[in-house]
Amino acid sequence: MTDTTNLSIRIDRSLKDEADQMFNEMGMNLTTAITIFVRQAVRQKKIPFEIALDASYDRNVSLADARAVVERIRENAELNGTANMSMEEIDAEIRAARTERRNRTKI
């Protein structure tokens, strides 16, 4: 028998209940599912799935809110003269400004 240890975590009760139900339907319990996750993470040396922000998933951010933020970003880009710049050009300007600032503080 392998040497095991206990793991104690806090999780929202309703999330745990949903996970228990889903994994039971797959023929396993939550402990087995978490063990599978950890084994895959160790094997792959990374989280074994993509983690990303999805504004449509966040219950506090509506699609209209997200569109309003994007519009404000566009307006600011127009005002700042960066709307037609590539990310490489913007990064180059930032690097130049930081270098200039460092040079000023050395004097």
Which tens digits make up the pLDDT trace of 51-98? 776 655 556 667 777 788 778 888 888 887 878 888 788 888 888 888
% of the chain residues with pLDDT over 70:
89
DSSP-based three-state secondary structure for 12: coil
- pTM > 0.75: no
The vertex-6 CA angle with 9 and 28, nearest 5°, equals: 80
DSSP-based three-state secondary structure for 107: coil
